[in-house]
Amino acid sequence: MNGVIPLHKEIGLTSSDCVYKLRKILHTKKVGHTGTLDPLVDGVLPICVGQSTKLVNRLTGSPKEYEGEITLGTSTTTEDREGDAVEDIKLEQAFTNEKLQETFTSMIGDLTQIPPMYSAVKVNGKKLYEYARAGLKVERPERQIHLYDFYMMGEPVFEKATGKQTVRFHVRCSKGTYVRTLAVEFGSLLGVPSFMSELTRTQSAGFDLKDTYKLSDIKSMIESEEYGFLKSIDDVLEDLPAHELTDEEWEVNVVHGGFLEFSQYDTKKNLRVTKNNITKAIYKYDPKDSMWKPETMLLNNE
């Protein structure tokens, strides 16, 4: 069984929980996810099965899209609704739509982020949340991220009684972005405490939320011997140019991890090489040797 499952991870499950459950449902050990989603976040989590586990890093590195909600007026220990309140104020009045959108727009582009203490980033071999739970603080490594889009969705809601304002948003961002940290930074730019009160990943590795399957769906389909939930490696890599191998190229070069020499393909892009229209490897151009060299071998893809 080879391919990628566009899973709809539900709230309450960790990404590792999903991998564990799918191993049992599919009766295979070769299962891996393509980017951690916190238990309080739902949405698209592509899962690689069989040969496609070799594509995990490629799929993890693609931009991702989210829709969520920021609450202005309160900050929490975890930067989301799971944590304890750290600072709580009552807003005297709502921020205008113009001010809110202006703040969203100002954050588009390259940003430097410091991962939250309650995260799985490792420092000196331990995860940050382990330090946080022990009441310890450590220096956290900065990371560079990029926001392609960040904008307000719908009308913000202001509750005069509580002095809290909630704002829904859409963001398209690079690998490694902590969206709950964006929510905190957003409030900081407005001069108020804030936290991420809701989040759904709507797109990842080319899969949209509407294309996903829940664990219960997959279990039912397996029982009925239906496998439409499993997307082929060829479908997942369809954005890459393809070269159909000759028998000689396949038997002499690719089977043995050898180099290939082509002049008709864009050397700035990776190239998938196919046999009988099935992807067998991904090649990358090496300008130093003027040759295409194997980057990912998928010889057992059927």
Cβ(205)–Cβ(231) under 8 Å? no
93 closest CA partner among 158, 155, 157? 158
Cβ(2)–Cβ(49) under 8 Å? yes
Cβ(29)–Cβ(207) under 8 Å? no
Q: How many other C-beta atoms are found inside a 10 Å radius of the C-beta of residue 145?
A: 17
Q: Active-site residue among 38, 149, 266, 289?
A: 38
Amino acid 83 reads G
| Annotation marks residue 149 as catalytic | no
- The angle formed by the CA atoms of residues 102, 105 and 108, to the nearest 5 degrees, is 155
Distances (CA, A) of 146 to 63, 177, 179: 9, 8, 12
Cβ(145)–Cβ(186) under 8 Å? no
Q: Which residues are catalytic?
A: 38
